[in-house]
Copies of this chain bind each other. A is one copy, B any other.
Amino acid sequence: MADIIAIEFSNEVLRLIDQRVLPGKLEYFECRNYRDVEFAIKDMVVRGAPAIGATAGYGAYLAAKELMQKHPSDRKTFLVEMDAALNFLNNSRPTAVNLMWAIAKMRHALEDHKDDAADLLLERLRALADTILNEDIETNHRMAEHGNTVIPKGATILTHCNTGALATAGYGTALGVIREAHNTGKNIFVYADETRPRNQGSRLTSWELMQEGIPSKLIVDSTAATLIRDGKIDVILVGADRVAGNGDAANKIGTFMLSVVAKVYGVPFYVVAPTTTIDFDIKSGKEIVIEERSAEEVTHIEGVAIAPEGMDVYNPAFDVTPHENITGIVTEKGILKAPYTEAIRKLAEER
């Protein structure tokens, strides 16, 4: 099949697959300025940590272009307003570190070239946004190759949320490994968790699996526990939104539950995430801010109420899987193994 292109920048427009309406409709959401980009991230037109990072890079570029047009001869005001615009983008969602990483990269480039001619500066920012996007695709292919080494022939794989082409610049993290295993003829079978409350598993992962023709079944999240106990799962692959210095990994709500059951029943549990998802500045998962989203995500589906009006809701979007539940963290630089603090410190030194 043709590659799924979820993020594309051309003719000065950022074109995103609108993931809010999949799989019913394949529509595109166009961002013409950085406010559109902030909305797209916040409202989950685009989601998935690496995809958010790549999207934010173009948001920073679009901000620079707009503010440069507004203040062509006042570089100081331009820089002050750019600072505010970058902060605005940075705050669109709190948990995925790739967002902060991409904004920091754009910010550094801006600082390094702040005295360049306007055209040159914009060109550099645009080129850097392209690099973030393209490097993510490359990174995913390298992760997929590393990850594929732990997938047995004929394996049944369990995955959670969407970590595919839609969650990244292309190919995917955990779903990239699944693609690779399928493409290398391993004859795999996939169980996809529906991933409440936003059903990224039923809406997005199912769609990608069907596009690729990978044999698979959709389950409600809690069915996974029985499959794991009954020996029906050979390996679990999930993505991550932020990995702490000790290997604790924040990912979509439900990941932690899987990791507990996997550990009790001895099923290998891998986190697949690029090194851009590692937050070298925090020591453990306790420092990760967990986004709470609206009650409506739980009480309504497609606008239809499934709970009584006024019912209180607790809706954290992510949970933290402790490093001791993780068999390995698959990165583009190889598979990290416990003790993670050491493995991650080594990575930090190599940067």
Residues of A bordering B, CB below 8 Å: 23-24, 191, 194, 196-197, 199, 202-203, 206-207, 209-210, 216-226, 229, 253-254, 256-257, 260-261, 264, 298-299, 301-302, 304-308, 310-316, 319-320
Contacts and interface: CB of A to CB of B under 8 A. Distances in A.
A77 B85 CA distance: 84
A256 B207 CA distance: 29
Contact of A306 (B191, B203, B256, B320): B203
7 contacts: A194-B196, A203-B306, A217-B313, A218-B298, A220-B254, A226-B319, A257-B261
Given A307-B202, A313-B218, A226 B191 contact: no
Contacts of A299: 202, 218
Contacts of A257: 222, 224-225, 257, 261
The copy count of this chain in the complex is 2
A306 B21 CA distance: 9
Given A298-B194, A301-B302, A308-B23, A219 B264 contact: no
A153 to B, nearest CB: 21
Contact of A313 (B23, B203, B219, B320): B219
Nearest to A211: B308
Given A191-B314, A226-B256, A298 B210 contact: no
Contacts of A316: 223, 226
Contacts of A203: 306-307
A221 B222 contact: yes
Contact of A302 (B218, B222, B304): B304
A310 to B, nearest CB: 7
A90 to B, nearest CB: 26
Contacts of A306: 199, 202-203, 301-302
A217 B253 contact: no
Contacts of A194: 196, 298, 307
A300 to B, nearest CB: 10
Given A199-B306, A202-B299, A225-B260, 13 more contacts: A23-B305, A23-B308, A191-B314, A196-B221, A203-B307, A207-B308, A218-B312, A223-B253, A224-B257, A226-B253, A226-B320, A301-B302, A301-B306
